[in-house]
Chain A
């Protein structure tokens, strides 16, 4: 059976690239976002990519998607917010990630395996993004501490505008080959892990 990945923010940018790489690797991909034409472009000629128009900040909408998706083996939350306004950034990054994790994590804990990957814009983008980055780092570490399942791992990577999405995703892929359950990655033009 193919593993399933749920990718939010999959209509464009790094979320679209993450979905396409997983589809190339023969995952069943559920590409989620609010931009239906963008999702269709991501899923073009990819029979194992399924699109779902859904606002990831709405826990009920996310739960409805997961109800038809089945078990999610990897969750990728990608940035969607062009705004730098604090409430908007926190809602579309921290709260959106939180609602998706709330929906996907119980199944991963039941199976003892899973990967939760949150991609955000860098803290240098704006004070709001700095706050969101700090909040997500703390949130993922607290989740890992609360749920000591060694097979469920958490990654948070920032995606600076001068670093191609493929480099950020490569850094995440490399980090998944490492043992720690939680890692925060700040890829630069030469990707490297800055903090653990």
Chain B
């Protein structure tokens, strides 16, 4: 798909390429019925690797060099799939701290981006991030260092799902991670005063132990055009 888009008067060519980013993330097992109810608005169903448990992933990303400019992002995602479709990462919430990517993300792919303050520390051993609105903290996440793991030479193709204004979309997404570290556990999550923090509290994430955490020191990504997912 090669459809281009215009964002804030600038033409954004597809696919969108991210040439340098860094990520820290934590994966949690949560109660599947609660997660299913939370994302029911999308028409997708949570993936249950173990009966009764769904996977919720929290990640923070620093985009340094890419087609959407430099920015910080925090993601709340669930492993999910449409009926009969493939498993992918459904993006439930995606605050960012810059306006160009806010508009691009919403208009090109239907990602649920909103503007927030997102201070981030990715140079230290423990990676830290907070999401704040008007000085009030919604979420704080810290990821402790793991052991190096081989990142391989392939660029895995994965699928992201989004939902905005009543439309669910599928976004083909290619990732090329390098300098990857992983460990079991390793996350400290603090939930503050925000509806999404309340969502996560409802899933039992307050004080929960992560299944695993990972950091990616250097990440390249490609986002292709979105396709509507019809029921």
Are A and B a genuine interacting pair, yes or no? yes
Interface size class of A (residues with CB under 8 A): 20 to 34
Report yes or no: B217 in contact with A166, Cβ–Cβ below 8 A. Answer: yes
> B67 interface residue, CB < 8 Å from A?
yes
Chain A positions 10-37 with a Cβ under 8 Å from a chain B Cβ: 17, 20-21, 23-26
With A25-B119, A46-B70 in contact, do A20 and B97 touch (Cβ < 8 Å)? Answer: no
Q: Nearest Cβ in chain B — how far from A26, in angstroms?
A: 5
User: A141–B67 Cα gap in the complex (Å)?
Assistant: 40
B2 at interface, CB cutoff 8 A: no
Q: Tell me, in angstroms, the Cα distance from A185 to B120 when the chains sit together.
A: 23
Please tell me the size bucket of the interface on B.
20 to 34
A47 and B98 in contact (CB under 8 A), knowing A17-B65, A23-B69, A24-B62?
A: yes
CB-nearest residue of chain B to A16: B65
**Which residues on A sit within 8 Å (CB–CB) of B98?**
24, 26, 46-48
Does A58 interact with chain B (Cβ within 8 Å)? no
Q: Which of A45, A49, A170, A177 has the most CB of B within 10 A?
A: A45
A41, closest chain B residue (CB): B65
How many A-B contacts at CB < 8 Å in the complex? 61
Residues A24 and B20 in contact, CB atoms below 8 Å apart: no
- With both beta carbons as reference points, the residue of chain A lying nearest to B218 in the complex is identified as A166
Knowing A46-B70, A47-B98, A166-B218, say if A20 contacts B119 (CB, 8 Å). no
Check A25–B72 contact: CB distance below 8 A: yes
Q: Using an 8 Å CB-CB cutoff, how does the interface string of B198-226 with A read, 1 for contact, 0 for none?
A: 00000000000000000001100000000
A47-B101 Cα distance, complex, nearest whole Å = 11
A52 CA to B10 CA, complexed, in Å: 21
Do the beta carbons of A174 and B124 come within 8 Å of each other? yes
Which of A23, A26, A166 makes the CB contact (< 8 A) with B20? A166
Query: For residue B67, which residues in chain A have a CB less than 8 angstroms away from its CB?
Result: 45
A24 with B64: in contact, given A45-B69, A47-B99, A166-B218 (CB under 8 Å)? Answer: yes
Residues of B within 8 A of A20 (CB): 64-65, 70
Residue ID in chain A nearest B61 by CB atoms: A24
Looking at B22, B68, B70, which has the most chain A CB atoms within 10 Å of its CB? B70
Q: Which positions 42-70 of chain B face chain A at CB distance < 8 Å?
A: 62-65, 67-70
Cα–Cα, bound, A126→B97 (Å): 42
Assembly CA distance A171 to B124 (angstroms): 9
B: which residues have CB within 8 A of A?
10, 20, 22, 62-65, 67-72, 97-101, 117-124, 217-218
